[in-house]
Chains A and B, each alone.
Chain A
Amino acid sequence: MAGSTSTVGSGRTPASAGRASSPASRRPGPGRAILRYTALAILALLFVSPLVFMLVTSFKSRVEAAGVPPTWIPHPFTTQAYSSILGASGTPVLRWFVNSMIAAAANSGLVVATAAMAAYPLARMEFKGKKIVFSAIIATLFVPPVILVIPNYLIVGKLLWLDTLIAVIVPTAASAFGVFFLRQFFLQLPRELEEAAVLDGANRWQTFLKVILPLSKPALVTLALLAFLTNWNDFLWPVYVLFSPEAQTLPAGLSTLQSANSVRYDLLMAGAVIASVPVLAMYVFAQRFIIEGVSRSGVKG
């Protein structure tokens, strides 16, 4: 149990132990392995070929990108689409990239911080009104986000946040999903450590910071990544609240490069690559946390 304080480390051990002894992999015969890899490879091909197509198209010339039938190897290979996206005056793509990074990072930080603080008493404390607060938060999960757009637009306008990044950071930070998700996770945590901390004279805030948060790192990383992704890809809301070219986020900005009536697949795909490579890299880095974040095994053992 003592080991659990260092969470991630100890958290992984029982999980991998479970994995090692899980039925499918216990004694993988060679036939089974071949079958598995064949299935995985076919699935992977289905999954990845559209993405490869996207990458390939981003290196095609304007004409070839809309060519029929589409080709799998660009001929000629050109980075023209990238240079015309990155070089276009009046469309500061790098600025949009930075804006998106700032907005998504700040938003996901805010989501995680506020949701964790709210989830803690909902998981661990008894107080009057708890049920009502929690029910109200859960109920809003069912409200289609589109209904919030206009009222929030008017509210953000009153706060003079329009055309600033705050408008895409703050209003979407009240995550009902986040509170629900973290509360679930906190409920699974062993209480003994908290009790030990309390005996050592820690107050609730210190317990939260020193015991709960370190134990919850996988869940927090998972939520942070999901919030980051949502904010990174959000399109409808930024279009409404950001007006000037230098205030745009990446998806809203990149869409202005698209002409209404002519199809520029080369630009579109190059834009998509620019927008998705950073998040994909982030996922590869964070994926081990995600598996643990949703799993309770790490902390149960």
Chain B
Amino acid sequence: MSEHLYPSSLTRRGFFALGGGATAAALLAACGGGKSATDAAQGAATPSGTFSAGYDGPKVTLSYWNGFTGGDGPFMKQLVAQFQKENPKIAVQSNTIEWAQYYQRLPAAVTAGKGPDVGAMHLDQLATNAARKVIVPIDDVAKALGLSETDFTPEVWQAGIYKGARYGIPLDVHSLAMYYNTDQFAKAKVEGAPKDAASLQDAMDKLKAAGIATPFWMPTRWPAHLMFLSLLWQNEGEPYAADGSKATFDSDAGVKALSWMRDTVTKGYSPANVAIDSQYVAFKNQKLAVTWDGIWQINDLNAAKIPYELAPVPVIGTTNAVWANSHNFYLTKQASQDPNRLQAAKVFIDWISKKSAEWAGAGMVPARKSVRETDAVKQSKQGPIAAEIAQLKFLPPVPGLGDVQAQTLEIAVANAILGKQEPAAALKDAASKATKLMQANQKKFGA
């Protein structure tokens, strides 16, 4: 799988073979590519093996930014409060901003020197922010914390690397999942969660027969493109070349994926013109039986007190795969310039990442293997998703990819599902535009 994602990552795989070896930091600093000499020196200057679980310098205040504004917010707040109790010398000032604003504000704040010392961001944003020098390489942190690929999964661990340097320490992974209304399933005599195209179709037909006219609403916007990506991977396609040189989502696999989504509408399982968030609100109101959404909705759905269960997204294509993302810790230059702050930030990251069992309460799957395999996580609502972690697929670390996708892929998916364009034509247009944008980005970010 990793070869597939990173056909040209010989260096990277070479590095992973070295694991946490002594030469790793130097090697990384060397292949840091565009990093300035100072950056490289900083990386190398941090003595290895200095990490201890505690912090005993002078009292410091860490500015910690995150986007946990939803049902995940209270869990993070609780973790931070507990951390401060156990580490009285480190004060953590949290700044919680809704993600869309967060990514707009972060570069501005860091450029102005008013940004965070440490923060959490999505895996697919690391490369972009690394290229913009908003965040700094933290291979030394990973090493000091004694973390390596084996503590996580290869996919999530490798997607945190941009130009040979690591920028993120994974906190959790979160993927798309299938939510289904258990009452309606019982009423329609559907047993268990559908596992593939045939059993999903069978369930749909039974649900329709049981009076649920449109059991599976196909969104046109969020999370439609995530559904598409999952189906594309399931059909053994790849959305982008791993080196960020071109978009490949218009392949046969892509057309198959998108046609299946459109068919859900034309075959009458979904109403046409599902507006933003409509399918989710309707699911909460028990107007439909099945929806695919992120596992982070668990708490919201629990609060809605509806009879539901969640299961892995069924295998519609030929292989099991599902879109996923991950929250990662990063550091900014601000923290790395002051050794006390840096040490405090390391203690913070290490502590939270070890405590991530509690974070599972937020509906996420802890990234650390040791935590993920605890009973608490296994028995949680997202337990079935945690078990499938090997099937999770992440976007390649290409700077600017998120914005390219918003302008191209997301539009194509919407157009096809709305029936404005044939899937193949929509994807073809979007992919050629995406390729152009990606090549412009390569030039811009000096890939």
The 8 A CB mask of B220-244 against A (1 = contact, 0 = none) is 0010000000000000000000000
Instruction: Evaluate whether A68 and B285 lie within 8 angstroms (CB atoms) in the complex, with A260-B70, A261-B70 already known.
Output: yes
A-B contact count (CB 8 A): 85
Residue with the highest number of chain A CB atoms closer than 10 Å, among B98, B105, B296: B98
Interface residues of B in 64-117 (CB under 8 A from A): 67, 69-71, 73, 77, 94-101, 104-105, 108-109, 111-112, 114-115
Q: In the bound complex, do residue A256 and residue B294 qualify as a contact, i.e. CB atoms below 8 Å apart?
A: no
Q: In the bound complex, do residue B104 and residue A260 qualify as a contact, i.e. CB atoms below 8 Å apart?
A: no
Of A89, A239, A262, which one neighbours B105 at CB under 8 angstroms? A239
Interface residues of A in 236-261 (CB under 8 A from B): 239-241, 243-245, 252, 255-261
A158 to chain B, nearest CB (A): 10
Residue on B nearest A157 in the bound complex, by CB: B112
Q: In the bound complex, do residue A244 and residue B114 qualify as a contact, i.e. CB atoms below 8 Å apart?
A: yes
Interface residues of B in 197-254 (CB under 8 A from A): 222
Instruction: Evaluate whether A243 and B285 lie within 8 angstroms (CB atoms) in the complex, with A259-B98, A260-B98 already known.
Output: no
The 8 A CB mask of B115-158 against A (1 = contact, 0 = none) is 10000000000000000000000000000000000000000000
Q: In the bound complex, do residue B108 and residue A240 qualify as a contact, i.e. CB atoms below 8 Å apart?
A: yes
B354 at the interface (CB under 8 A from A): no
A61 to chain B, nearest CB (A): 10
Residue on A nearest B296 in the bound complex, by CB: A261
| Cα distance, A62 to B71, chains bound together (Å) | 12
A247 to chain B, nearest CB (A): 10
B17 at the interface (CB under 8 A from A): no
Q: How large is the interface on B (under 10, 10 to 19, 20 to 34, 35 or more residues)?
A: 35 or more
Q: In the bound complex, do residue A255 and residue B95 qualify as a contact, i.e. CB atoms below 8 Å apart?
A: no
Residue on A nearest B99 in the bound complex, by CB: A260
| Cα distance, A217 to B71, chains bound together (Å) | 50
Instruction: Evaluate whether A259 and B70 lie within 8 angstroms (CB atoms) in the complex, with A66-B285, A68-B282, A90-B96 already known.
Output: yes
- Across the interface, which residues of B come within 8 angstroms of A62, CB to CB? 303-304
- Across the interface, which residues of B come within 8 angstroms of A256, CB to CB? 69, 96-98, 101
- Across the interface, which residues of A come within 8 angstroms of B100, CB to CB? 260
Of A67, A89, A239, A257, which one neighbours B69 at CB under 8 angstroms? A257
- Across the interface, which residues of B come within 8 angstroms of A162, CB to CB? 109, 112, 114
B103 to chain A, nearest CB (A): 11
Residue on B nearest A61 in the bound complex, by CB: B303
A153 at the interface (CB under 8 A from B): yes
A44 at the interface (CB under 8 A from B): no
Interface residues of B in 409-423 (CB under 8 A from A): none
Q: In the bound complex, do residue B282 and residue A255 qualify as a contact, i.e. CB atoms below 8 Å apart?
A: no
B333 at the interface (CB under 8 A from A): no
Interface residues of B in 235-285 (CB under 8 A from A): 277, 280-282, 284-285
Of A68, A89, A255, A262, which one neighbours B77 at CB under 8 angstroms? A89
Of B95, B284, B300, which one neighbours A244 at CB under 8 angstroms? B95
Q: How large is the interface on A (under 10, 10 to 19, 20 to 34, 35 or more residues)?
A: 20 to 34
| Cα distance, A95 to B391, chains bound together (Å) | 46
A163 at the interface (CB under 8 A from B): yes
Q: In the bound complex, do residue B94 and residue A90 qualify as a contact, i.e. CB atoms below 8 Å apart?
A: yes
Interface residues of B in 280-299 (CB under 8 A from A): 280-282, 284-285, 287, 293-294, 296-297
Instruction: Evaluate whether A262 and B98 lie within 8 angstroms (CB atoms) in the complex, with A239-B104, A239-B105 already known.
Output: no
The 8 A CB mask of A259-298 against B (1 = contact, 0 = none) is 1111100000000000000000000000000000000000
Residue on B nearest A245 in the bound complex, by CB: B95
- Across the interface, which residues of B come within 8 angstroms of A146, CB to CB? none
Of A157, A163, A260, which one neighbours B111 at CB under 8 angstroms? A157
Interface residues of A in 135-170 (CB under 8 A from B): 153, 157, 162-163
Residue on B nearest A260 in the bound complex, by CB: B99
| Cα distance, A244 to B96, chains bound together (Å) | 9
A17 at the interface (CB under 8 A from B): no
Q: In the bound complex, do residue B77 and residue A258 qualify as a contact, i.e. CB atoms below 8 Å apart?
A: no
A196 to chain B, nearest CB (A): 54
B305 at the interface (CB under 8 A from A): yes
| Cα distance, A256 to B65, chains bound together (Å) | 12
- Across the interface, which residues of A come within 8 angstroms of B73, CB to CB? 259
Q: In the bound complex, do residue A153 and residue B108 qualify as a contact, i.e. CB atoms below 8 Å apart?
A: yes
Q: In the bound complex, do residue A261 and residue B284 qualify as a contact, i.e. CB atoms below 8 Å apart?
A: no
Of B77, B222, B294, which one neighbours A90 at CB under 8 angstroms? B77
| Cα distance, A252 to B97, chains bound together (Å) | 10
| Cα distance, A198 to B380, chains bound together (Å) | 83
Q: In the bound complex, do residue A262 and residue B97 qualify as a contact, i.e. CB atoms below 8 Å apart?
A: no
A63 at the interface (CB under 8 A from B): yes
Instruction: Evaluate whether A63 and B305 lie within 8 angstroms (CB atoms) in the complex, with A243-B109, A256-B98, A259-B69 already known.
Output: yes
Q: In the bound complex, do residue B96 and residue A163 qualify as a contact, i.e. CB atoms below 8 Å apart?
A: no
Of B114, B280, B300, B305, which one neighbours A163 at CB under 8 angstroms? B114
| Cα distance, A263 to B285, chains bound together (Å) | 13
Residue on A nearest B282 in the bound complex, by CB: A68
Of B101, B112, B287, B297, which one neighbours A262 at CB under 8 angstroms? B297
| Cα distance, A262 to B301, chains bound together (Å) | 10
Residue on A nearest B101 in the bound complex, by CB: A239
Q: In the bound complex, do residue B304 and residue A63 qualify as a contact, i.e. CB atoms below 8 Å apart?
A: yes
| Cα distance, A198 to B293, chains bound together (Å) | 74
- Across the interface, which residues of B come within 8 angstroms of A90, CB to CB? 77, 94, 96
Of A67, A91, A241, A260, which one neighbours B67 at CB under 8 angstroms? A260
Q: In the bound complex, do residue A68 and residue B96 qualify as a contact, i.e. CB atoms below 8 Å apart?
A: no
| Cα distance, A20 to B226, chains bound together (Å) | 64
A89 to chain B, nearest CB (A): 7
Instruction: Evaluate whether A262 and B71 lie within 8 angstroms (CB atoms) in the complex, with A243-B105, A243-B114 already known.
Output: yes
Residue on B nearest A243 in the bound complex, by CB: B109
Q: In the bound complex, do residue A68 and residue B281 qualify as a contact, i.e. CB atoms below 8 Å apart?
A: yes
Residue on A nearest B97 in the bound complex, by CB: A256
Residue on B nearest A252 in the bound complex, by CB: B101
B402 to chain A, nearest CB (A): 13
A27 to chain B, nearest CB (A): 51
| Cα distance, A208 to B389, chains bound together (Å) | 74
- Across the interface, which residues of A come within 8 angstroms of B303, CB to CB? 62-63
| Cα distance, A220 to B32, chains bound together (Å) | 60
- Across the interface, which residues of B come within 8 angstroms of A241, CB to CB? 108
| Cα distance, A182 to B111, chains bound together (Å) | 39
| Cα distance, A91 to B115, chains bound together (Å) | 18
Sample (9) of A-B pairs whose CB atoms are under 8 Å apart: A63-B304, A163-B114, A239-B101, A244-B114, A256-B98, A258-B98, A259-B70, A259-B71, A261-B296
B contact residues vs A (CB 8 Å cutoff): 67, 69-71, 73, 77, 94-101, 104-105, 108-109, 111-112, 114-115, 222, 277, 280-282, 284-285, 287, 293-294, 296-297, 300, 303-305
Smallest CB-CB A-B distances: 8 pairs? A259-B70, A68-B285, A262-B300, A243-B109, A260-B99, A162-B112, A259-B69, A243-B114
Q: A256-B101, A258-B69 are in contact. List 5 more A-B contacts (CB 8 A).
A: A90-B96, A239-B105, A243-B95, A244-B95, A255-B101
